[in-house]
Homo-oligomer: A and B are copies of this chain.
Amino acid sequence: MNETKENILKKALQLTSLFGLESLSIGKLAKEMEMSKSGLFAHFKSKENLQIEVLRYGSQLFTESIFKPALAAPRGTPRIRALVENWPNWIGHGVAGDCPILAALTELDEKMGPVREFLFEIMTQYMESLSKMSNIAKEEGHFPANTDSQQFAFELISIMLGYQATRKLPWQAEQRLTESMENLIQRFEEGRKND
């Protein structure tokens, strides 16, 4: 990717994180970048393609800045904890506001088309990555062998969403995120009674 295109995508991602993917237009972005609309159009061809590129860029940025650093932690639960500790650096910092991918999920949920398909693909991949982290915790003997890793991924993403939704409310979201996560990991470590 050339530098100009990367700078455009950086700005587009920031705008998406603040105002959503739907309100992102080539015209608006051109204004923000102080570029001509036709110059910007040459990079992306259509609004849909711009949206897809923004999602791809956001997903790559998340992988590089949040997910990969967690892989430096030892396999299993330490790695899961490292990811969770790193996650609030994404919200409000790595991007300007909410996670642009989760924000887009709310917006595009009912809007059929290639952008939604691409978004669902990214989300499924992310859920599978979380699920894999739980599988590794099983391999390491941190979680019992009968652990349902898809369930773990569901509960993990839920807590992250809860953090995102309440971080501006008087609800000590950061502390609750940590506590929820410890509760979740401990419960999975102990294995569930009814299994």
A residues with a Cβ closer than 8 A to B are 17-20, 22-23, 96-98, 102-103, 105-107, 109-111, 120, 123-124, 127, 150-151, 153-155, 157-159, 161-166, 168-173, 176, 179-180, 183, 186-187, 192-193
Contact = CB atoms under 8 A, between A and B. Distances in A.
A16 to B, nearest CB: 11
Contacts of A170: 124
A180 B151 contact: yes
A159 B169 CA distance: 18
B169 A127 contact: yes
A109 B98 contact: yes
Contacts of A153: 171
Contacts of A107: 19-20, 103, 106-107
Contacts of A105: 165
Q: Which 7 A-B pairs have the closest CB atoms?
A: A158-B162, A161-B161, A97-B110, A154-B176, A158-B158, A103-B106, A18-B110
11 contacts: A18-B110, A97-B109, A97-B110, A102-B165, A109-B168, A120-B169, A150-B171, A151-B179, A153-B171, A158-B161, A161-B162
B169 A123 contact: yes
A195 to B, nearest CB: 11
B150 A154 contact: no
Contact of A162 (B110, B120, B155): B155
